[in-house]
Structure 1
Amino acid sequence: MDAPREPTQDMRAEFERRRPAGCAAAEWQLRCELAAAYRLFAQLGWHELIYNHLTVRVPDSEHYLINPFGLMYREITASRLVKIDLEGNKVEPSPWPVNPAGFIVHGAVHAAREDAHCVMHTHTTAGQVVSCQREGLLALSFNSMFYAGRVAYHDFEGITLDRTECQRLAEHLGTRNVMILRNHGLLVCGPSIGDAFAEHYMLQRACEVQVAAQASGATLVQPAREIAERAGEQYERTARQGDQNTLLWNAMLRWAWDIDPGFAA
C-alpha cells in the first residue's frame, strides 16, 4: 500500500505553478518558504515592526534573500524579497531598500559559514531580557536544556552598522548555530529554513520560560551541569540525524498557507 501523500507536496506544487518566468525553480521554492517564515514570525509575535531579518542563501551562489526595508512581516511575499550580495548590494532590480544593519549581521554569518544557509535574528521581549542577564540562558526548563553548552555570546557594540564588527561576530559564533547578542537579542542559523526555524522556536521558548520562572519569585532548580549538557548533546544529535525539523517545518508551512496563501506570490 502506498504511503499517503503528504499535504505539503500539494502546496509546493502550487508554489511551482505560481513561479514567475525567469526565476529558477529552486530559488522560487526558497522565496516562498522564506516569505512563509516571515508571515509565521508575524503570527507568533516575533517581529519588530519593519525591523530585523530572516535571510536565506540562494542555491549555488553567494547571494541571499532579505526582506524589503519598510514592509511589515505580514506584507512579505516571495517576489518582494530582495536579492543581495555579501556586501549588501542588490544583484537584481528592486524598488525596495535594504536595512544596512541587516546585511552587517547576516552577511557576516553567511560569509563565514558555508553551512549556514538560513540566518534569523530577532528582538523578542524574552530574548532581549535574557540577553541583558549576565549569566545568559540558564539550564532551567526542558527547552533550555537543548542549549546547554551550545550557545555563543557576542557583546554589544552599538547599532550594527560597523563592518569591522562582522569578523568579531562571526568569530564569536564559531561553529555553533545559536548566539545571544548581549543587550540586543537572539540569532540562530541552520542548513535550511526549517532547521533555523526550529532552533529559534526552541530558543525563544527557553527564554520565555526563564523570564517567567524568574518573575515567579520561587526558588529555581537547576540540574547538574553534566546532565544539562547531555540533554543538549542528545537534542543536537536527534535534530541532525532525524527528520523532526522537516516534519515541524512542513506543518508550519501548511499553517502559513491556511492563514493566507498570498505569501507565495
Structure 2
Amino acid sequence: MDARAPSYSTAWPSIEGQVSPQEWQARCDLAACYRLMDLHGMTDMIYNHITLRIPGTDHLLINLYGLLYREITATSLAKIDVEGNIIWKPDTDYGINKSGYVIHGAIHTARPDVAAVIHTHTRAGMAVSAMQCGLLPLTQTTMRFVGHLGYHDYYGPAVDLAERESIVADLGPHDAMIMRNHGLLTAGATLQQAFNTMYQLEGACRAQVDAMAARTELTMPGADILEKTAHLYQPGTRRPYGVLEWHALLRLLEAEQKNSAFPPYWS
C-alpha cells in the first residue's frame, strides 16, 4: 500500500489497559449498544450516532464515521468533547460525523441528567416523522410517549450549530423526540434506558405504519386511560427502564458472536 494512502484498517489493538476502568466499561456498553441497534434493524448503513458520557468527565464516546454498527468495538470508539473536538481516536483516517456533535453535543450540554443520546433514520421512524398527525396512541407501546414526546421541525441536515438551541428547546424535559422529516431521537439517564426507549419508540412507529397501511378504522383509548398508561410506563414509576433487559440483551450478543466474522464488541 502507498504510504500516503488513507488508512481504513479496523485491526486496532485493545486499549483496555490504557484507560480507566470506568471508561472501559462505558466503551464496552456503548459498543454493545451499537451492535444491538444493528441486531434489531435500527441502523442506516454507516450513518447515525449513539453517544455516551464517560462517567466523571465532560467527554463523550462516539462512533467513527465509516464503520458499520456491527463492526464497532470498545476500542474503535472516539473520545470527543461536547464541541466535537477529538480527544482520542484509533490510528486511522476515519473521523467523526459533524452532525453527531451538533445534535448530541447540544443535548449533553443542556441536559446534565442525560448520559446517552441515540439518533436513528429507520424506515418506520422516517415515515412517522413525515406524518402531520405525528405519533398516534394506537398501542400500549405508543401510550408511554403520550405527554412525553417532543417534535423538532426540519431545517436541513443537522450541521448548523445555530440549530442547537431549537433542538434542546423542542426536546424539553422529555427523553424522546421525533425529528420531523428526519428520524427519531432518544436520551436517557443511562445508556440502557436510552436504548430501551428507542426500542419502544421504533416499535410504536412500526405498529403505526402497519396499522395505517391496513386501511381500516382505528381505535384509541380515552384521555384518562392514555394518561394513566403513560404514567405507569415512565422510568421512575415502577422500575428503571432498560436495566433488567440489558443483561438478557448482552447474552444475546454473546450468542450471536459465536457465528460472527466481526471481532467481539468488548475488544
Q: Calculate the TM-score normalised by the size of structure 1.
A: 0.90
Find out whether 1:209 has 2:211 as its counterpart: no
Pick from 147, 151, 154 the counterpart of residue 145 of structure 2: 147
Supply the distance in 1 between the matched residues of 2:217 and 2:130 (Cα, whole angstroms): 21
Counting aligned pairs with the same residue, the percent is 40
State the partner residue of 2:244.
Answer: 247
Supply the distance in 2 between the matched residues of 1:23 and 1:231 (Cα, whole angstroms): 43
Find out whether 1:78 has 2:74 as its counterpart: yes
State the partner residue of 2:29.
Answer: 33
State the partner residue of 2:266.
Answer: 264
Question: Which aligned segments of 4 or more residues in structure 1 are displaced greater than 2 angstroms?
Answer: 93-96
Q: How big is each residue's C-alpha offset from its partner over 1:134-185, in whole Å with a ceiling of 9 and x where there is no partner?
A: 1210010110111111110000000000000011100111110000000000
Shift of residue 232, structure 1, vs aligned partner: 0.6
Helix, strand or coil: the match of 1:148? coil
Q: 1:264 to 1:154 in 2, by over 3 A?
A: same
Helix, strand or coil: the match of 1:114? coil
Supply the distance in 1 between the matched residues of 2:28 and 2:60 (Cα, whole angstroms): 14
Contact 2:76 / 2:89 at 8 angstroms: preserved in 1? no
Give the alignment's Cα RMSD to 1 decimal.
1.4
Supply the distance in 1 between the matched residues of 2:244 and 2:232 (Cα, whole angstroms): 18
Shift of residue 193, structure 1, vs aligned partner: 1.0
Shift of residue 225, structure 1, vs aligned partner: 2.1
Q: Which runs of 5+ in 2 are unaligned?
A: 1-13, 258-262
Shift of residue 245, structure 1, vs aligned partner: 2.0
Give 1:7-46 correspondences, 5 Å limit: 20-46=16-42
Q: 1:191 to 1:52 in 2, by over 3 A?
A: same
Amino acid at match of 1:233: H
Residue-pair matches, total: 247
Supply the distance in 2 between the matched residues of 1:71 and 1:213 (Cα, whole angstroms): 34
Pick from 209, 219, 222 the counterpart of residue 221 of structure 1: 219
State the partner residue of 2:99.
Answer: 101
Q: Which runs of 5+ in 1 are unaligned?
A: 1-17
Amino acid at match of 2:189: P
Shift of residue 241, structure 1, vs aligned partner: 4.5
State the partner residue of 2:124.
Answer: 126
Supply the distance in 2 between the matched residues of 1:242 and 1:145 (Cα, whole angstroms): 17
Q: Calculate the TM-score normalised by the size of structure 2.
A: 0.89
Contact 1:52 / 1:123 at 8 angstroms: preserved in 2? yes
Q: 1:241 to 1:27 in 2, by over 3 A?
A: farther
Moved more, 85-94 or 142-151: 85-94
Find out whether 1:62 has 2:58 as its counterpart: yes
Contact 1:19 / 1:25 at 8 angstroms: preserved in 2? no
Q: How big is each residue's C-alpha offset from its partner over 1:198-257, in whole Å with a ceiling of 9 and x where there is no partner?
A: 1011111111100000000110001112211221111105x5551452111111111112
Contact 1:33 / 1:253 at 8 angstroms: preserved in 2? no
Supply the distance in 2 between the matched residues of 1:248 and 1:80 (Cα, whole angstroms): 25
State the partner residue of 1:192.
Answer: 190
Higher helix share: 1
Q: How big is each residue's C-alpha offset from its partner over 1:55-81, in whole Å with a ceiling of 9 and x where there is no partner?
A: 100111111000000000011000000
